[in-house]
């Protein structure tokens, strides 16, 4: 009924996590399967290891303080603490042991490129790894001149040249019409020919792009037929980040589901960015979402993993998790093991859970569902909206109302507040949107009692409802002084509090870092400021995950379809009890 080896190896799995997954410990544990990554023909693991969490700091590795290649005062790798680099090596070993062969980073992830290259090269030198055993991806920002693109490349190649070649090179953050122009239509300064020359020279095997752009922009890029794969925010039930609520190229769909189908028509590999973080902070789901999934015996991370891998008609090739420590991989690995070893039952569970979440969205939106709610909303760069991220705000309303994802929506809303603070009323719309970063779209000027411009909602079936929704979203997150809009008790009453948390510390580099924080990190050699390595020992982390899953199962045992911890009633319950996860 289920793989007995996995059940027998629970303690081995936890011991190996604590030890850092040596390559000799997990030979009998089910490994992540691989899929063809579009026209690249690469066989890529369905889970990718992202490099945005494990680096020592966010300070550029070539900052010229006391020399080049400088994470800490120009010291190169000697400026990286041994504990931090050992953790990166352990993550790589963990991945390889679980069958994860794809490692992804970027030029502007601080010291990530340098540390990943050093870890991979070191394992090659010791004979633990061969170059053909892994797929390496890095990403370079689009540039408005060829010279700038060349400078970005030189900085990355200086790091990765010792590995021989880069498998996948992405144009990172192809987010706007301006970026599109730089890459494809900028006269002599068009940068695409330079990137293509890297493939011709053998330094790079395949070109792709990553984006926070609208579905219409993504379609425009894909139709150019110049890239072999795409890194995309497409999060299923939990929206598509900045693509949420935005119409496709033919105005017949909303979000990035159409983008994925179009990419497949061009035989492109599809890589899903941040399914567990930007896809709802699913490592810390609300009590509402937890309750919605409890009757099906799955966690939020398990549902998202299953949906991406097996609920998208096979159109998603790989999803990424940014691991800051080896044990960050356990919940996703458990999800894969459960499904791979119990496909018939888990397929039914996934279908039932998907229907339940869709019904919740429909009940929230009313007749017509999401499609009617999103119909006619202007894209984020539409001048009629005056910079207001209307689809984004409506998406946040749905996520909170349907699934109780208040903490997640609050973080996303803060980004829109940052954009509002930068918005200069003396400048034109076009000038203002040029200043947008990776998180386009602002919120209302709430203190000025701003409303969405009437003309921005002229194509909406019910503009008054959209106005009401957007005002309600602002009331959730905007308040006078330092007073919080809701107390903890009020959040609990609404089901907007955390059902549980797999996060045992909060100082991930992806959260709340700033220029001042990075400078502080540099000046104090990483003592203060954002950093990527956890402070707690692996054993404590595993124990806390164990506690979390035990709590989840106890709560689930109280539901009508409950799982009896001391004896399974049926095959479905036995599978959940035998799940080779942290518990």
Q: Is residue 513 part of a domain?
A: yes
Q: Is residue 334 part of a domain?
A: no
| 399 shares a domain with 478 | yes
| 116 shares a domain with 55 | yes
Under 8 Å between Cβ of 146 and 191? yes
Q: Is residue 476 part of a domain?
A: yes
| 513 shares a domain with 485 | no
Q: How many angstroms separate the CA atoms of 331 and 275, rounded?
A: 13
User: Does the pLDDT of residue 451 top 70, yes or no?
Assistant: yes
pLDDT for the residue numbered 71: 44
Q: How many domains does the chain have?
A: 2
Q: Is residue 467 part of a domain?
A: yes
| 440 shares a domain with 388 | yes
Q: Is residue 78 part of a domain?
A: yes
Inter-CA distances, 503 with 282, 338, 558, Å: 10, 22, 25
Under 8 Å between Cβ of 469 and 397? yes
Angle at 216 between CA 213 and CA 220, to 5 degrees: 95
| 369 shares a domain with 448 | yes
Structural domain span for residue 454: 360-494
Query: Can you give the pTM of this predicted structure?
Result: 0.85
Instruction: Write down which residue in 471, 494, 517 finishes a domain.
Output: 494
| 403 shares a domain with 463 | yes
pLDDT digit string (tens) for 479-532? 765 678 899 999 999 999 999 887 654 333 444 455 566 555 555 555 555 554
| 468 shares a domain with 396 | yes
| 470 shares a domain with 377 | yes
Average pLDDT, the chain: 83
Q: Tell me the three state secondary structure of residue 25.
A: coil
| 481 shares a domain with 417 | yes
User: Does the pLDDT of residue 364 top 80, yes or no?
Assistant: yes
Q: Is residue 429 part of a domain?
A: yes
Q: How many angstroms separate the CA atoms of 101 and 49, rounded?
A: 8
Instruction: Write down which residue in 462, 494, 526 finishes a domain.
Output: 494
Q: Is residue 159 part of a domain?
A: no
pLDDT digit string (tens) for 522-573? 555 555 555 544 444 444 444 444 454 444 444 444 433 333 323 333 333 4
| 509 shares a domain with 397 | no
Under 8 Å between Cβ of 81 and 73? no
Distance of CA 14 to the CA centre of its chain: 25
Q: Is residue 487 part of a domain?
A: yes
Q: Kindly state the average pLDDT of the residues 317-322.
A: 96
Phi, psi of 15 (to 5 degrees): -60, -40
| 484 shares a domain with 367 | yes
pLDDT for the residue numbered 577: 41
| 414 shares a domain with 468 | yes
Q: How many angstroms separate the CA atoms of 478 and 500, rounded?
A: 25
User: 540: how many CB neighbours lie within 10 A of its CB?
Assistant: 13
User: Does the pLDDT of residue 574 top 80, yes or no?
Assistant: no
Q: How confident is the model at residue 325 (pLDDT cuts 50, 70, 90)?
A: confident
Phi, psi of 442 (to 5 degrees): -110, 165
């Amino acid at each position: 009924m289920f793989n007995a080896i996995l059940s027998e190896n629970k303690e081995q799995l936890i011991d190996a996590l604590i030890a850092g997954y040596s390559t000799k410990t997990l030979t009998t544990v089910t490994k992540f399967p691989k899929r063809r990554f579009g026209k690249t023909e690469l066989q890529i693991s369905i889970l990718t290891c992202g490099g945005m969490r494990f680096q020592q700091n966010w300070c550029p590795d070539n900052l010229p303080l006391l020399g080049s290649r400088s994470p800490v005062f120009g010291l190169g790798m000697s400026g990286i603490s041994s504990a931090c680099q050992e953790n990166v090596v352990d993550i790589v070993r963990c991945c390889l042991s679980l069958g994860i062969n794809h490692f992804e980073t970027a030029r502007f992830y601080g010291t990530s490129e340098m540390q990943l290259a050093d870890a991979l090269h070191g394992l090659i030198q010791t004979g633990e790894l061969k170059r053909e055993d892994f797929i390496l991806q890095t990403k370079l920002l689009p540039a408005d001149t060829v010279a700038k693109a060349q400078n970005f490349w030189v900085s990355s190649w200086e790091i990765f040249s010792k590995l021989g070649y880069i498998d996948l090179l992405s144009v990172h953050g192809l987010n706007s019409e301006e970026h599109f122009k730089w890459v494809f239509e900028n006269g002599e300064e068009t940068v695409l020919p330079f990137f293509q020359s890297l493939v011709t020279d053998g330094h790079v095997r395949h070109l792709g792009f990553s984006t926070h752009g609208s579905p219409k922009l993504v379609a425009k890029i894909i139709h150019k037929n110049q890239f072999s794969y795409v890194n995309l925010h497409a999060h299923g039930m939990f929206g598509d980040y900045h693509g949420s609520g935005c119409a496709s190229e033919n105005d017949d769909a909303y979000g990035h589901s159409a983008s994925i189908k179009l990419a497949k028509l061009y035989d492109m590999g599809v890589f899903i960015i941040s399914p567990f973080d930007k896809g709802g902070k699913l490592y810390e789901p609300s009590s509402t979402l937890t309750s919605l999934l409890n009757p099906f015996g799955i966690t939020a991370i398990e549902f998202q993993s299953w949906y991406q891998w097996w609920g998208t008609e096979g159109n998603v090739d790989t999803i990424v998790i940014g691991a800051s420590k080896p044990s960050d991989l356990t919940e996703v690995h458990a999800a894969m093991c459960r499904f791979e070893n119990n496909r018939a039952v888990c397929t039914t569970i996934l279908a039932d859970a998907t229907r339940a979440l869709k019904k919740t969205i429909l009940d929230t939106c009313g007749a017509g569902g999401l499609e009617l709610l999103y119909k006619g909303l202007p894209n984020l760069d539409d001048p009629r909206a005056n910079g207001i991220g209307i689809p984004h705000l409506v998406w946040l309303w749905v996520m909170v109302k349907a699934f109780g994802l208040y903490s997640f929506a609050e973080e996303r809303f803060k980004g829109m507040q940052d954009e509002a603070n930068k918005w200069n009323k003396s400048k034109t719309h076009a000038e203002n949107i040029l200043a947008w970063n990776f998180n386009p779209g602002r919120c209302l000027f709430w203190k000025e009692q701003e409303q969405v411009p009437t003309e921005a909602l002229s194509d909406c079936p019910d503009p008054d409802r959209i106005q009401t929704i957007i005002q309600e979203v602002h009331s959730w997150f905007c308040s006078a002084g330092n007073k919080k809009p809701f107390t903890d008790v009020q959040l609990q009453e609404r089901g907007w509090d955390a059902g549980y948390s797999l996060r045992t510390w909060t100082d991930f580099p992806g959260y709340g870092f700033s220029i001042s924080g990075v400078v502080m990190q540099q000046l104090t050699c990483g003592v203060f400021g954002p950093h990527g390595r956890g402070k707690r020992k692996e054993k404590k982390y595993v124990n806390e995950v164990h506690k979390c899953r035990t709590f989840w199962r106890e709560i689930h045992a109280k539901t009508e379809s409950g799982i009896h911890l001391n004896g399974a009633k049926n095959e479905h319950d036995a599978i959940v009890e035998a799940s080779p996860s942290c518990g």
